[in-house]
Chain A
Amino acid sequence: MKTMTTAAAVLLLLSAGTSAQTLDDLKRDGNGGSTDNVLTYGMGYHQQRYSPLKQINKQTIKRLVPVWNLSLDNNWGEQAQPIVYNDVMYVTNAKATVAIDVGTGKQIWKQTLDWPPETPRVVCCGISNKGAAIYNGKIFRTTLDAHVIAYDAKDGKELWKAKAAEWKEGYSLTVAPLVANGVLVTGISGAEFGIRGFIDGWDAESGKHLWRRHTIPARGEKGNETWPQDTNAWEVGGGSAWITGSYDPELDLMYWGTGNAAPWASQSRPGDNLYTSSVLALRPKTGEIAWHYQFTPNDAYDYDACWELINADITVGGAKRKVIMQLNRNGFVYVIDRSNGQLISAKPFEKVTWASHIDEAGRPVETETAKKLRAGEAIEHWPSTLGGKNWPHAAYSPETGLLYANTIHNARMYRHLEIKPYVVGQRYQFVENIQIPKKPGEPYGHIDAIDPLTGQQKWRVPLTDNPIWSAMLATGGGLLFTGKETGEFIAIDAATGQQLWQFQTGSGINAMPITFTHNGQQYVSILSGIGGLWWNIARERLKDAVPQGGSVWTFALLPE
């Protein structure tokens, strides 16, 4: 009898194993699919980070309590978004990949990575990883030393490992992969080290390299004419791709933002420098560029455009438009037609001193301040190189039509220095970039509800201690979830910005909350573990108040 039960259990497990999620599941994630799963970066190919779940709402939030916590045994910092499939949560950081039972928090398997201790030399802004991808029974991730790995989702067995690039040449990987139309797609980091950026397509089954789309076209290719023709500036011109692209399965286009141009000082590379600080619309099967739009031509400011390009269908002038939206590092919020790349609007959402506006042709009109910078003078630079917003991802609610984001209010005295010859694997920036002290009461940043078409805040909550470096999650319960550098995981009323709930997670939060259902109950999960860029910047001030140490927290409502 006992044997019979065991056999039945084995059969059950086997059938669960064969129901590995398909491309259709990925398409429907965050788009009418099962709320038991979170299968994609951004909680849907659209990267809206919105869930219709509303069991946890303004009335019930007071009963939200932790269900479990699991240590990740990591002091480098946690930035990842968890993936959830078939009651298993998959979490990554720079050191390891962990599979966890979502009901109990029990660790199912763990795979630890071993990269050379020198690798952090070529990682500018936090020894981290943004998360895994899942497809057809496999878990995919990138490594700090620029490899891509596939594990068996069941037991963590390594199925293949492929080298994307040489870390000693300044290349590194922290990006969460994207599976689009069956192709595994990854980006690259390293624009502070004079890399030539690219986006790669891989065969998910075998790890075979399928294609590489350089973000800087080679000599003779269209776009290279925007670089000097008498130097090799284009070969060391930056243009990383360190945040996962969004994807529209109907148009079969992925939208990848590209990083800053290199070096940050721009004297050596007159021209627009395509395709740095741009969005590329790419075909997943081939990497072919369908269209591009450049946010910051001849970037002189470290204005990456890597982060979330949120897909939504919104009403513009009475007509429904398929758009992508981005709160760009350069201080403007862009709305672009995602079928053809046509700019619909670009309005400032933060204080901007480098450009007065974006003109009809979609080009920024640079100010006298920008001209002084280009002439070699030090300027008061708004937004600073931290950006009007950095990577912590915004959420978009299709119910309110608003973007919810953690933005940065910061200026630095910024000056270009003389450009020295490129040295492989060495910083390639050449700027002086000194923080301007905050006036008493002046906020470090805000929690903002922003109209994407006007850039206007519906409400904004000033942050007087630190900016928030955690992504936003919006829910059908009228709530926003995000986390603070000082460790509080918080819930906010999406209508007003008022904080309704908080829980101290034991370390700072720089990660991405998710929500899902388990046995009919709504769960919310977040990684805690201070790290990343703000920890680099503010550690002297935070180190005595915020301990290091990574862990996963999962919350649900206490029964009434």
Chain B
Amino acid sequence: MRLIMPTIAIGLCLLTLPVRAEEGFPKEQIAAGAELYATNCSPCHGTRMLDPEGAFNLRNFPPDQHDRFVNSVTRGKNQMPPWGDFFKPEQIEALWAYVVAGER
């Protein structure tokens, strides 16, 4: 009992801070993001975010900066072109799920 209570408390904490909760993303969402990533992003950001070919190393993307991620994908950043007209918002969220939780 003493053991279980703190675990639940931590779990509740994580649920209230979804950006920190890597296990908070549904598996299907991560998988959808992985597929979009493999086709569209891996040529520059590397297969499974390994060996990033010059572009930002997404394995180091701060998991608490969701809005920055969405903004960069939508509008482009430095030499990355904008993707806002290409990905639907839910696809960008799937990419976010993959980047935060897919390979960590």
Contact = CB atoms under 8 A, between A and B. Distances in A.
A127 B76 CA distance: 15
A404 to B, nearest CB: 28
A434 B81 contact: no
A263 to B, nearest CB: 10
A118 B85 contact: yes
Contacts of A120: 79-81
Contacts of A118: 76, 81-83, 85-86
Given A117-B82, A118-B81, A118-B82, A124 B43 contact: yes
A538 interface: yes
Nearest to B85: A118
B54 A535 contact: yes
B39 interface: yes
B71 to A, nearest CB: 14
B7 interface: no
A192 interface: yes
Interface string B36-56: 001110011001001111110
Interface in A147-200: 192
Contacts of B82: 117-118
B57 A540 contact: yes
Interface in A127-150: 127
A500 B43 CA distance: 38
Nearest to A412: B51
Interface stretch (A59-67, A341-349, A424-432): A424-432
Nearest to A427: B39
Contact of B40 (A76, A127, A427, A433): A427
Given A124-B43, A434-B47, A539 B55 contact: yes
A486 to B, nearest CB: 15
Contacts of B50: 434
A253 B14 CA distance: 69
Given A434-B50, A540-B52, A420 B83 contact: no
A538 B54 contact: yes
A536 interface: yes
Interface in A513-560: 535-540
Interface in A222-272: none
Contacts of B55: 536, 539
A75 B40 CA distance: 23
B9 to A, nearest CB: 40
A433 B44 CA distance: 12
Interface in A412-467: 417, 420, 425-427, 429-430, 432-435
Given A76-B79, A127-B79, A434-B50, A192 B43 contact: yes
A430 to B, nearest CB: 8
B54 A433 contact: no
A119 B76 CA distance: 11
B81 A537 contact: no
Nearest to A119: B81
B78 to A, nearest CB: 9
Contacts of B43: 124, 192, 427, 429
Interface of A: 75-76, 117-121, 124, 127, 192, 417, 420, 425-427, 429-430, 432-435, 535-540
Given A117-B81, A118-B83, A420-B39, 5 more contacts: A117-B76, A121-B86, A420-B35, A427-B39, A539-B54
Interface of B: 35, 38-40, 43-44, 47, 50-55, 57, 76, 79-83, 85-86
9 contacts: A75-B79, A118-B76, A118-B82, A127-B79, A425-B86, A427-B40, A433-B47, A434-B47, A540-B54
